[in-house]
Amino acid sequence: MKIKLFFINVLFISIVNAQVKFEPGYIIDNNGNRVDCLIKNSEWLGNPEEIFYKISEDASETIRATTGTIKEFGIGYNLVFKRFTVDLDMSSNSMVYMSNKKEPEFETRTIFLRQLVKGGANLYYYEGKNVNRFFYDLGELTEIKPLVYKKYKIDQSNVAVNAEFRSALYYDLKCDDLTSSDTRGLSYDKKNLIDLFKKYNECKKISPIIYADEKGKGYFNFKIKAGFTSFKNELKFEARPGQSDLISADFPEQVSFRIGGEVEYVLPFNRNKWSLFVEPSYQSYEATGVNQNSSSGGVVTNNEVTLKYNYIEMPIALRHYFFLDNKSRLFGNVGIAVVIDLDSDFSFSQTPDLELNVKSTSNLLLGFGYDYNNKVSLEFRYSAPRNINKESGFITSSYSGVSFIVGYTIL
């Protein structure tokens, strides 16, 4: 338990520290003044309601800004948010909460909208809890309008769609190169709407600015992994009628070398901060424990138990990176370790006829580490206890370990 708490605390502290990253950006206050500053990028899952910024790297004061104090802010070249008071449709697309009304259920709100396209026609996006909505205008001095897309129930099992946004765009985005086929069947998503607004602006001889997500591509990393693992195992015996009363046996901790590889796929969203990986590695453990064997006559004898355990561990896990700077980043892992048992067995000194095969269950793993320049990584990993006697009816084991792993990216 102490080891678990240690790993959780260190991981939490590392994540909190890594998240405090201020990136170059700007704000525009209510008077229209632009201020270049450093904005804390909190990796918002939806549209932010507030931001925190500093005037300079050395500034000790962090300033909070909301829709009440600023009307626009941007980070880097791809994130621009503008303040608008809009009619926001809050109806749900979930069948559980879906209404039977065709018309949108508007609420008037002042919010930050993310700008996706800037030109003669502008496209904006809002993402909230279970709500994804698009808005547009035909220039910064014109009224901003919602693009209406609403699912509603016809009855308990059938759903219809109000796709009013298609007709709105057909009538408002008039240009020689656009026809009804451009809006007929148009999907309510970022890619298709951005493409339509881009086409319209180019038709109007306006070069649009597309505020696309950074790092729109996923990619693979191939790594060599090696390290050491400190293992501990405990056997627990349950007495059976007519047999000796076997008590639990503790095995000493053993440190073993591990070697393997990793295939990681870095996901093409959220600035490549999420990835999935598999990491097959060969590991082995050999130790002898002692348990007491009490016979029906009350005679107690020591029974040595030797475990030879060879296996391939294959974690299937999710990883999240926390950038410190352009070359350094922390990461946290969580996943399931699938185990392929190799030549392994238990042997008992006093009961050599007792056959006990090694059959492993899967187990949870947690890890945290440091990566430099996507080349070299260091990781501490905790493997939660797993039973390596899952087919035994009267013996269970608790096999766990803590690992230190070094990785090197080869491709």
What are the pLDDT digits (tens) for 348-389? 777 677 667 788 999 999 999 999 999 999 999 999 999 888
Domain stops at, among 190, 210, 230? 210
**pLDDT digit string, tens, across residues 135-181:** 999 987 789 999 999 999 998 888 999 999 999 999 999 999 999 99
Are 154 and 246 in a shared domain?
no
Are 147 and 186 in a shared domain?
yes
Are 234 and 370 in a shared domain?
yes
**pLDDT digit string, tens, across residues 216-232:** 578 999 999 999 999 88
Residue 51 has pLDDT above 80, yes or no: yes
Does residue 61 fall inside a structural domain?
A: no
Does residue 165 fall inside a structural domain?
A: yes
Give the distance, in angstroms, between the CA of residue 381 and the centroid of all CA atoms in the same chain: 18
Residue 293, H or E segment? strand 281-294
- Give pLDDT, residue 295: 56
Residue 318 has pLDDT above 90, yes or no: yes
Are 145 and 82 in a shared domain?
yes
- Give pLDDT, residue 4: 47
Are 182 and 133 in a shared domain?
yes
Number of domains in the chain: 2
Q: Check if the beta carbon of residue 227 is closer than 8 Å to that of residue 263.
A: no
Mean pLDDT for the chain overall = 86
Are 107 and 195 in a shared domain?
yes
Are 328 and 194 in a shared domain?
no
Residue 336 has pLDDT above 70, yes or no: yes
Amino acid at 276: L
Amino acid at 41: N
Are 149 and 229 in a shared domain?
no
Residue 240 has pLDDT above 80, yes or no: no
Termini Cα distance of the chain:
38
Q: Running DSSP on this structure, what letter comes out for residue 130? A: T
What values do phi and psi take at 140, rounded to 5? -65, -20
Q: How confident is the model at residue 92 (pLDDT cuts 50, 70, 90)?
A: confident
- Per the listing, tokens 């990216």 go with 409
CA distance 308 to 171: 75
- For 216, 342, 402, the CA distances from 312, given in Å and listed in that order, are 35, 7, 16
User: pTM for this one?
Assistant: 0.62
